[in-house]
Copies of this chain bind each other. A is one copy, B any other.
Amino acid sequence: IFRGHDIQLFLTPMCLKSMNKTGFNGFGLQAIRSKEELEEIDFAISIGGDGTLLDTVCYIGPYEIPVVGINTGRMGFLATIAKEDIEWAAKDLINNNFSLEDRSLVRLESSPPLFEGLNFGLNEFTIHKRDTSSMITVHTYINNEYLNSYWADGLIVSTPTGSTGYSLSCGGPLISPSAKNFVITPVSPHNLNVRPMVVSDESEISFKIEGRSEKFLVSLDSRSTAIDASVDLKLKKEKFVAKLVKFQNYSFFDTLRQKLNWGYDMRN
């Protein structure tokens, strides 16, 4: 598709390695070798599902390289380009016929640091009890002001992007990408009065965990790690954003209606 245009394609090191294994020579494509090279890249193309795009954003991080999300399966919330639309999407990309949508990220500041520096998520941060342990208590503070002690299986802090994911399954609201918020959604809370809470994404959210088990799970998007109660956890909005490439016919609300079957009420 890109032939005849002054365009160079690069692959991530891991990706090139796995392609080589399959005997595919990659058309002489080169892997990205350094941060400097990463900085010079114009677009990242994520091929897979929404999960792949989350990983791509994790890889790109502060470089804010615009991401094109191609889905190989069913249309995603993030990977919105179907395989059959790749060609015109590539043309639109080359012709500068697109816009960028900034998506906020949630940043975890912990002591000791976790996630080897990749301490941000596009979808959500979660705290969860471990397998067979009983419920945990998460004391939660907004800008150092005490909010609540959630007694639950877990707690989610979701970005607008993540509001269509795990938070939604746990009763959280949908959030428009342009609303500058986080939503704090408890997982199976014991107190029936507790409800999802929307706060400004300028807020700093901090936690103290309490539970019979000595270990808890924390996660950023699909990456998770076990910690103990001594770890200090603090969330804020990440300084950089994820930039998603949007083509003309894209509409977040269309995607929402389609993926949540809003147009299609069979109960009547």
Q: Give residues in A with beta carbon < 8 Å to B.
A: 74, 128, 130-132, 142, 145-149, 151-153, 160, 163-164, 166, 168-176, 178-181, 183, 187-200, 202-203, 217, 219, 224, 251, 253, 256-268
Alpha-carbon gap, A260 to B197, bound state (A): 13
23 A-B interface contacts by CB (under 8 A): A74-B268, A130-B131, A131-B131, A132-B217, A132-B219, A142-B253, A146-B253, A149-B263, A152-B169, A163-B198, A166-B188, A172-B173, A173-B173, A175-B198, A176-B200, A178-B203, A179-B180, A187-B188, A190-B268, A191-B267, A193-B261, A194-B260, A261-B266
Given known contacts A169-B190, A190-B169, A261-B264, A174 and B196 CB-to-CB distance under 8 angstroms = yes
CB distance from A203 to the nearest CB of B (A): 7
Residues of B within 8 Å of A145, CB to CB, are 251, 253
Contact between chains at A192 and B189 (CB < 8 Å): no
Alpha-carbon gap, A190 to B259, bound state (A): 12
Q: Which residue on chain B has the smallest CB distance to residue A152? A: B169
Contact between chains at B169 and A197 (CB < 8 Å): no
Alpha-carbon gap, A187 to B251, bound state (A): 25
The list of the 10 closest CB pairs from A to B, nearest first, reads: A173-B196, A191-B265, A169-B188, A173-B173, A175-B198, A176-B199, A174-B197, A193-B260, A179-B200, A259-B266
Residues of B within 8 Å of A251, CB to CB, are 145
CB distance from A53 to the nearest CB of B (A): 14
Alpha-carbon gap, A251 to B74, bound state (A): 29
Given known contacts A173-B195, A198-B174, A262-B194, A253 and B148 CB-to-CB distance under 8 angstroms = yes
Contact between chains at A192 and B192 (CB < 8 Å): yes
